[in-house]
Amino acid sequence: MTTLKYRDVEIQQVDEVTWIIPPVGNMRVPGKIYASRKMMESIIKEDEAIKQVMNVATLPGIQKYSIAMPDIHWGYGFPIGGVAATDMQEGVISPGGVGYDINCGVRLARTGLQLQEIESKIERLIHVLFKQVPTGVGAAGAIRKLNQKEMRQVLAKGAHWAVEQGFGTAEDLEHTEENGRLSWANPDKVSKRAIERGQAQVGTLGSGNHFLEVQVVEEIYDADAAEALGLFPGQVVVMIHCGSRGLGHQVCEDYLRVFNTAVHKYGIQLPDRQLACAPIQSQEGQDYMGAMAAAANFAWANRQVIMHLAKNSFISALGISERDLDFHLVYDVCHNIAKVETHKINGETKEVCVHRKGATRAFPPDHPLTPEVYRHVGQPVIVPGDMGRYSFVAVGTWKAMEETFGSTCHGAGRVKSRHQALKEGKGKDLIGEMKKRGVVVQARGMRTVAEEMPWAYKDVSEVVDVMHKAGISKKVAKLRPVGVIKG
């Protein structure tokens, strides 16, 4: 059996793309990482993410494995690209396993347009989108500032609130994970400060790696699945990547303070204070679950409003009718979340709390939680890449249920820090360079563009191929960006 050494630990290669870290020290379960050998050598060499996989394996009540996807990189407590399921009675919930941007996720909408029909109008389209969808740190004003009562409705109803206000249709909800709402959300557990931070931010992109991209379907790998998803070669689609903005960040911050005390109260020993956690059934655990779900609902409402603004921007910029645009949501998935799900653990069906941080749910065909419209092909998985190359659409499989708690990768994963990317971009015409790649970019500031240039990221095709080879998610289509707005 092939092995690679990390510190004093021999990491074992099980097959072409699967690696096992045997339990050492206080690890309660093994670690499992999906990566090619080339990726694995890079992961070992470049950051502390493997140590974080091992640290997560020490959490009380963790089941089967501490898992990491090929887009793994260092994060807060958990690695980004990490998955862990904990027992509902004996296990814990950890904000580090969800992330600061609660329900950061991706939404893909399709149109009836072909790129050749609008190619000459891409610059105008991006200009109108940039004008209509607020971007950047502290972005606000997409719609009017909501009052406290309205905010509570957003936190309780999620995307349903947005549809009730005229931002989309009931069909959109059927094409959104959890129908765009976690029912156990508890707005009472969200702080006043968090609500204040969200009041003017519904319908805004924010900054960092968040974006709205106009893309073209460049390649189809699975014709039947693509047809089910309404995708065809040359088609214009829209991808939106963002989350719960300042509200979600504040919820995470609030509960990390609570949980830093809770670990002492409940006598939980941790190798890293960033893994601060509390028993799921404790008051602190239940309070966080309610607040996290409320923040997730805010994120779904946010993406729903952004999509509606994008649709209107297309109609305005291109001078076409809604009928000619033929705009529909393909799917919306979250990749920073913890949810109670039923999985098979050592032959026994049980409820567990699945933490997905930088990981996407990938449920299979014929699963009751796979949307009915896609039940014959599997739940859509949307995997964005960097803004200069491509993104992918895939579908979930039964092997994902067996091996990863129904989870797969979520994106490209950084290979350069923001500081390194800034340094590499210094003095370069970044917008001009993107234009040479065939991508029109509008952004609030050049700093974000430099941080998000293609050289800062892994090649997402390698990430998606690992999960395809592992049988965890199946490739359906490749999408190429032609225009992007960023903070």
DSSP letter (8 states) at residue 457? B
Q: Tell which residue, 248, 236, 209, 297, has the closest CA to residue 112.
A: 236
Q: Is 410 a catalytic residue?
A: yes
456 burial type by CB count under 10 A (0-12 exposed, 13-18 middle, 19+ buried)? buried
Distance CA 113, CA 315 (A): 12
Q: How many helices (H) and strands (E) does the chain have?
A: 17, 20
Distance CA 47, CA 45 (A): 6
Question: Structure tokens of 386?
Answer: 């960097």
Distance CA 15, CA 157 (A): 44
DSSP letter (8 states) at residue 318? H
The answer to whether 197 touches 145, Cβ cutoff 8 Å, is no
Cα-atom radius of gyration of the chain, to the nearest Å? 21
407-408/391-396 β-pairing: unpaired
Distance CA 75, CA 358 (A): 10
Question: Structure tokens of 323?
Answer: 């009928």
Catalytic residue among 160, 335, 410, 468: 410
Q: Tell which residue, 476, 410, 471, 472, has the closest CA to residue 229.
A: 476
CB atoms within 10 A of CB 140: 17
Length of the chain measured in residues: 487
Q: Tell which residue, 286, 269, 302, 271, has the closest CA to residue 101.
A: 302
Distance CA 202, CA 306 (A): 8
What burial letters (b/e) apply to 146-182, b meaning 16+ CB within 10 Å? beeeebbbbbbbbbbbbbebebbeeebbebbbbbbbb
List, in sequence order, every beta strand (DSSP E) within 386-486: 391-396, 407-408, 440-443, 473-486
Distance CA 261, CA 225 (A): 48
Give the CA dihedral 463, 346, 97, 36, nearest 10 degrees: -20
Indicate the helix (H) or strand (E) that contains 158: none
Which residues are the active-site residues? 410
